[in-house]
């Protein structure tokens, strides 16, 4: 059915249909039931699932109160990240946000903040980063793969105690069955991932396409799999894993580094 046909059948405005389908507005449970009836969806299980999703979507999310502190692109990334079943993250320069300690995150936020940035905004961004990390502690956490360049591990922010606690957190997380951490050592020389960080998010429903997120010095880029872009980044990610130390040797490397800074 076209949007015009649905609008006529439901006695709704065309703009309402467009806003619902683009996610610009939420949808009530009554409207979901009416649409499903129109579309011929009568399975009790499917009806219950979609009605519950509609009900949940109308509840305020934890990140909604920070809308003034982060860009719309990053806000959307958080929404996708919270729903993902598989996370693939590559970082050439810094410890990934989901793996950072509070002290490390504070150091990064303050050092890299634009001059004149309000302290309240910086503090809120630190809170956002730490709250995002809760997804790793869920009963069923996403399967997470983190590949770091060796420079990200060695360039620890702040005083010695910051490095100690950050390395201890990496060791703790690397021992979790849902998390894989791998370091690409300096010894491999130049490699394909040196110039940019990126995240690839996958979702439990195979009909939901993967999401690519890149953060540059000037912009945040969130894209769906257009023209095979994500498959190219996936190839780069697997290449980085292949040239890395691997999970076991990475854990040994980080453990040895922790001893050096203790």
- Is there a single domain that holds both residue 82 and residue 199? yes
List strand residue ranges (DSSP E) for 131-231, in order: 143-149, 179-184, 198-202, 211-215, 220-224
Q: Are 91 and 184 in contact (CB under 8 A)?
A: no
Tell me, yes or no, whether 22 and 150 share the same domain.
Answer: no
136 vs 74, 141, 197, 222, 261, CA distance in Å?
Answer: 19, 5, 20, 22, 27
Please check the confidence at residue 84 and state whether its pLDDT lies above 90: yes
Of residues 236 and 113, the one with the higher pLDDT is 236
In 12-150, the DSSP E strands lie at 86-91, 143-149
Q: Could you say which of 57, 76, 98 is where a domain stops?
A: 57
| Res 91: pLDDT | 96
Does residue 8 share a domain with residue 70?
Answer: no
d(CA 133, CA 93): 19
Q: Are residues 253 and 192 in the same domain?
A: yes
- Asked whether residue 169 falls in the same domain as residue 204, the answer is yes
Question: Are residues 13 and 99 part of one domain?
Answer: no
What's the pLDDT score for residue 14? 92
pLDDT at 54: 87
- On whether both 226 and 171 belong to a single domain, the answer is yes
Mean pLDDT of 63-86: 89
Same domain? 239 vs 145: yes
Q: Which one has a higher pLDDT value, 248 or 227?
A: 248
**100 and 29: one domain?**
no
pTM comes to 0.80
* Residue ranges making up the domain that contains 123: 62-261
Task: With a cut of 80, say whether residue 228 has pLDDT above it.
Answer: no
Question: pLDDT digit string (tens) for 182-221?
Answer: 999 999 999 988 888 999 999 988 778 899 999 876 678 8
Average pLDDT, the chain: 90
For residues 115 and 156, state if they share a domain. Answer: yes
More confident position, 215 or 48:
48
118 and 191 belong to one structural domain: yes
Query: What pLDDT score was predicted for residue 151?
Result: 94
196 and 67, same structural domain?
yes
CATH of residue 176? 3.30.870
Residue 253 has pLDDT above 70, yes or no: yes
Domain count, the chain: 2
């Amino acid at each position: 059915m076209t949007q015009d046909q649905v609008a006529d059948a439901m006695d709704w405005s065309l703009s309402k249909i467009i806003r619902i389908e683009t996610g610009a507005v939420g949808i009530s449970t009554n409207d979901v039931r009416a649409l499903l009836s129109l579309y011929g969806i009568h399975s009790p299980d499917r009806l219950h699932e979609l009605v519950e999703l509609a009900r949940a979507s109308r509840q305020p999310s934890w990140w909604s109160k920070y809308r003034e502190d982060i860009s719309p692109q990053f806000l959307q990334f958080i929404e996708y990240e919270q729903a993902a079943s598989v996370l693939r993250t590559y970082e050439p320069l810094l410890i990934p946000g989901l793996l950072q300690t509070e002290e490390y995150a504070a150091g990064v936020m303050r050092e890299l903040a634009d001059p004149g940035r309000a302290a309240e905004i910086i503090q809120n961004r630190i809170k956002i980063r730490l709250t995002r990390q809760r997804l790793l502690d869920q009963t069923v956490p996403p399967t997470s793969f983190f590949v770091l360049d060796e420079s990200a591990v060695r360039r620890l922010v702040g005083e010695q105690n910051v490095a100690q606690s950050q390395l201890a957190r990496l060791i703790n997380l690397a021992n979790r069955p849902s998390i894989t951490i791998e370091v690409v050592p300096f010894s491999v020389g130049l490699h394909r991932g040196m110039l940019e960080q990126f995240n690839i998010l996958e979702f439990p429903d195979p009909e939901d396409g993967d999401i690519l997120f890149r953060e540059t010095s000037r912009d945040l880029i969130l894209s769906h799999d257009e023209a095979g872009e994500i498959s190219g980044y996936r190839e780069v990610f697997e290449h980085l894993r292949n040239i890395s130390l691997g999970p076991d040797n990475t854990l040994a490397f980080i453990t040895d580094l922790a001893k050096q800074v203790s």
